[in-house]
Amino acid sequence: MHPGAWWLWALGLATAASRTTNPLLLCLLVGVAGYVVAARRTDAPWARSYAAFLKLGLLVLGIRLVFAVVLGSPIPGTHTLFTLPEVPLPEWARGVRIGGRVTAEGLVFALYDGLKLATLLVCVGAANALANPARLLKSLPGALYEAGVAIVVAMTFAPNLVADVARLRAARRLRGRPDRGAKALLLVGLPVLEGALERSVALAAAMDARGYGRTAQVPPAVRHTTTALTLGGLLGVCAGTYGLLAAQGAGYGLPVLLAGLVAAMGGLWLGGRRSVRTRYRPDRWGARAWLVSGSGIAVAALMVWAASYADAPLHPPAVPLTTPDLPLWPAASVLLGLLPAFVAPVPVRSPRPPSDGHGHAGSAPRSPDGDPRRTRPTPRSWGGGPRRTRPAPRPPGGEPRRTRPAASHQPGDGPGPYSHWKEIRR
């Protein structure tokens, strides 16, 4: 699967989340993203970052509620929950208060706002967990390769940080040391920082060995044309986007946007001639990539269309307090985001070691009384069959060698137990 398809799908879900504050629709978007990640993520280190983005979203939601309680809310309310002691502020801080009356309407408004931001973070986390950053870098145009490397390194910082913390916590547990609490977090922070520095040094050496930053010789006229097309195209995209969003520029917004896109693509194509790198086995944008990206774009387009004709169900009011309803058609459009869970290729996961029946994967075999130290693997478990014994060697005369007797020999008992070895040596 092309990594750009996953990012288009996730950005489509994020666009849909930015168009509503309905908590039911936002929770539905989080559920859709979580189901697709659970069904199609791999065992790669960056695939484990989705849980970290979920925790980050919950943290953002909690901080937004705390700010609403401590600093107050601009939403007027009549249902007072409790009153905090208000801190007097100087005259120049007029309009800001600390403490005071906390209303239910203000907390509901903060909950809707914080849940919207948390959903945006979850959508970005889904893209980080599903898209391979190295393959995404290969798909960038040559003119954006240097900037793409910086962006990919920045995007992989959080997944690598999560993987390092999980690895170090597992190592502390194996050593019998605590892995939770503030003290354990401080002890884990230094190895994580050391690993990040070592990874950055290795990345710099690899980039230098691969000729990063070296460009081909291009005539000055081509360079000037590339700069003009790229800057003009970006300005056209900005002007066209503003025209589409503003009520007065709806007539010229779309043509200016299309012209800016064409000019920017031409500038990127000319700028790619300066790149001297090659691509090994580039990713193809196949039918599955079209379906995955199309599902996200469809979710965003249908949500924008629903906001244009029925905005009230997408933004339930906090004043007065009402129970939010689940609009039928926007909810059905959100469910289109589940399409990648069925059309995307199933990832190949590494096999896990067999469990011992108690949830301990790869643990040592246990004896009947439960002690793992009193048993050891048998030859039958190694090779799947009984151990083969070597036949006893025969002497030159044809008779098999006699084995060592188990009884001890005393002086004066006649020939000793090892007297037959003399005959064999002869």
Going by pLDDT thresholds of 50, 70 and 90, the confidence category of residue 141 is low
For residue 365, give the nearest of 347, 349, 353, 348 by alpha carbon: 353
Q: Are 387 and 379 in contact (CB under 8 A)?
A: yes
pLDDT digits (tens, 9 = 90+) for 208-237: 776 666 666 667 777 778 778 878 887 888
Q: Say whether pTM exceeds 0.85.
A: no
Tokens 């980050």 correspond to: 56
* Residues 112 and 233 both lie in one domain: no
Please state the domain count of the chain. Answer: 2
| pLDDT at position 62 | 93
* Residues 47 and 134 both lie in one domain: yes
* Residues 308 and 264 both lie in one domain: no
Q: Are 103 and 78 in contact (CB under 8 A)?
A: yes
Q: Are 340 and 292 in contact (CB under 8 A)?
A: yes
* Residues 63 and 120 both lie in one domain: yes
* Residues 7 and 135 both lie in one domain: yes
- CA 104 vs. chain centroid, Å, equals 35
* Residues 90 and 62 both lie in one domain: yes
Structure tokens at 118: 């948390």
Residue with more model confidence, 422 or 332 = 332
> Packing angle between helix 157-174 and helix 145-155, nearest 10 degrees?
30
Q: Within a domain: residue 331? A: yes
* Residues 75 and 119 both lie in one domain: yes
Report the run of H or E that residue 136 belongs to, with start and end: helix 133-138
Q: Within a domain: residue 198? A: no
pLDDT digits (tens, 9 = 90+) for 372-405: 444 444 444 444 444 455 555 555 554 555 555 4
Q: Within a domain: residue 377? A: no
Q: Within a domain: residue 227? A: yes
Range of the domain at 131: 3-139+282-343
Q: Within a domain: residue 321? A: yes
* Residues 313 and 230 both lie in one domain: no
Last residue of a domain, one of 343, 363, 395: 343
* Residues 54 and 123 both lie in one domain: yes
Q: Within a domain: residue 251? A: yes
* Residues 131 and 256 both lie in one domain: no
Last residue of a domain, one of 257, 274, 291: 274
Q: Does 161 score more than 60 pLDDT? A: yes
* Residues 240 and 314 both lie in one domain: no
* Residues 231 and 303 both lie in one domain: no
Q: Are 165 and 188 in contact (CB under 8 A)?
A: yes
Last residue of a domain, one of 312, 343, 374: 343
Residue 34's alpha-carbon distances to 152, 352, 354, 381, 387, in angstroms, are: 23, 23, 27, 41, 50
Q: Within a domain: residue 150? A: no
Going by pLDDT thresholds of 50, 70 and 90, the confidence category of residue 179 is confident
Backbone angles phi, psi at 98, to 5 degrees: -120, 115
Structure tokens at 246: 């503003």
